[in-house]
């Protein structure tokens, strides 16, 4: 069993914001697995699918970004999973716009949602799939991440979310993280 979590904010007003790229990529994962977000459990919207007969849980925390760790901790506990059976997809202002970067572990950087996940589960030893959103437009970070994705950027982020979803599926399928990084990380 494996858990893939896409970070974001649950209200419709945030649906097309930069901070919801994790939710959008989680939707792509669910679609790839022919799964639907039908259940609510552990403060998350959950879809269940299978890869080679193994169950994969895809989750979107409903706790809002800065408390995402609560839902992740509850899901890990409910399904008796370790952090090694977890991949988290999220936006990252420190990466160039549209770039995808996979890492087997690491810090939260400037991301409050990841800070919450690491604090709640007590580990940073889990796969993370980051989607770059960096912009030099001079907009304060909080305003920028909660602003709607610019129309001209939709194709870039649609492709980045699809790439992040493919990476998450590969990790859940047991592909070695080094190979996933080589295949899906942008240069």
What residues are paired with 41 via a beta bridge? 44
Q: What is the C-alpha separation between 131 and 165, in angstroms, rounded?
A: 11
Question: How many residues belong to the chain?
Answer: 187
For the chain, what are the domain ranges? 2-184
pTM score, whole prediction: 0.95
Per-residue confidence band for 187, with pLDDT thresholds at 50, 70 and 90: low
Looking at residue 169, its pLDDT comes to 98
CA distance 48 to 45: 10
CATH number of 2-184: 3.40.50.1470
Q: Helices H, strands E: what count in the chain?
A: 6, 7
Tens-place pLDDT, residues 8-31: 999 999 999 999 999 999 999 999
H helices present in the chain, as ranges: 21-32, 68-78, 112-121, 141-145, 154-172, 177-184
Q: How many whole angstroms separate alpha carbon 180 and alpha carbon 171?
A: 7
Residue-wise over 48-66: b if at least 16 C-beta within 10 A, else e? Answer: bbeeeeeebbbbbbbbbbe
Enumerate the H helices of 6-147 as residue ranges: 21-32, 68-78, 112-121, 141-145
* DSSP element (H, E) containing 59: strand 54-61
Mean pLDDT confidence for 55-67 = 96
Active site residues: 19
Q: How far apart are CA 18 and CA 40, in angstroms?
A: 24
Mean pLDDT of 49-65: 96
* pLDDT tens per residue, range 116-170: 999 999 999 999 999 999 887 777 777 888 889 999 999 999 999 999 999 999 9
């Amino acid at each position: 069993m494996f858990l893939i979590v896409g970070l974001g904010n649950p209200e419709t007003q945030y649906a097309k914001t930069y901070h919801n790229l994790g939710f959008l990529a989680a939707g792509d994962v669910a679609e790839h697995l022919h799964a639907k977000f039908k259940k609510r459990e552990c403060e998350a919207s959950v879809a269940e699918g299978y890869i080679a007969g193994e169950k994969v849980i895809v989750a979107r925390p409903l706790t809002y970004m800065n408390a995402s760790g609560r839902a992740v901790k509850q899901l890990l506990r409910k399904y008796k999973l370790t952090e090694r059976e977890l991949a988290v997809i999220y936006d990252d202002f420190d990466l160039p716009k549209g770039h995808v970067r996979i890492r087997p572990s690491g810090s939260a950087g400037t991301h409050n949602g990841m800070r919450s996940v690491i604090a709640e589960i007590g580990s940073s030893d889990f796969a993370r799939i980051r989607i770059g959103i960096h912009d030099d437009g001079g907009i304060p970070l909080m305003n920028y991440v909660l602003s709607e994705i610019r129309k001209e950027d939709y194709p870039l982020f649609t492709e980045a979310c699809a790439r992040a979803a493919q990476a998450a599926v590969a990790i859940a399928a047991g592909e070695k993280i080094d190979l996933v990084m080589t295949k899906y990380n942008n240069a």
